[in-house]
Amino acid sequence: MRVLVAGAAGQLGQAMVARLARDHEVIPCTRAEVDLTVQAATLDFVRRARPRAIVNCASYNDVDAAERNQQHAFATNAFVPRTLARAAEELDATLIHYSTDFVFSGTSDRPYT
């Protein structure tokens, strides 16, 4: 199966590429290939790759920097998954998206935003 791994250069992405490559044709997607925060470029990249599955390992996970650069963090962690979901729907592909308990630990007495 053709599997596109977004965020393929990150820690999770590298592990995912290595594991999936044993049994699947992997299309790694790193910043060198496309800026995932640019919707049109992302859609074009995914359309050309024509994956049957998309694994989103891309994230903005530097919490301190995210507080200073909220726009970029939100674009990476909210808009990128939305764009990948739209591409997956268009191509009738499966989308797998990871999250982390680092952000949503469940210990706050207030709602998470």
pLDDT tens for residues 63-105?
788 788 888 888 898 999 999 999 999 999 999 998 766 665 6
Q: What per-residue confidence (pLDDT) applies to 10? A: 93
For 32-59, write each residue's pLDDT tens digit. 999 999 999 999 999 999 999 999 999 8
Residue 112 has pLDDT above 70, yes or no: no
* Tokens standing for residue 81: 């998954």
Distance CA 63, CA 27 (A): 28
Asked, for residue 55, whether it belongs to a domain, the answer is yes
State the Cα angle at 82 between 95 and 71, rounded to 5°.
Answer: 135
The CATH number given to whatever domain includes residue 27 is 3.40.50.720
Length of the chain: 113
Q: Is 105 part of a structural domain of the chain?
A: no
CA 87/CA 95 separation, integer angstroms: 9
Closest alpha carbon to 27 in 9, 11, 47, 6: 6
Query: 51, 57 in Cβ contact below 8 A?
Result: no
* pLDDT, position 74: 85
- Give the domain range for residue 64: 2-97
Is residue 112, in this structure, part of any structural domain at all? no
| Structure tokens belonging to residue 23 | 């049994």
User: Structurally, how many domains does the chain consist of?
Assistant: 1
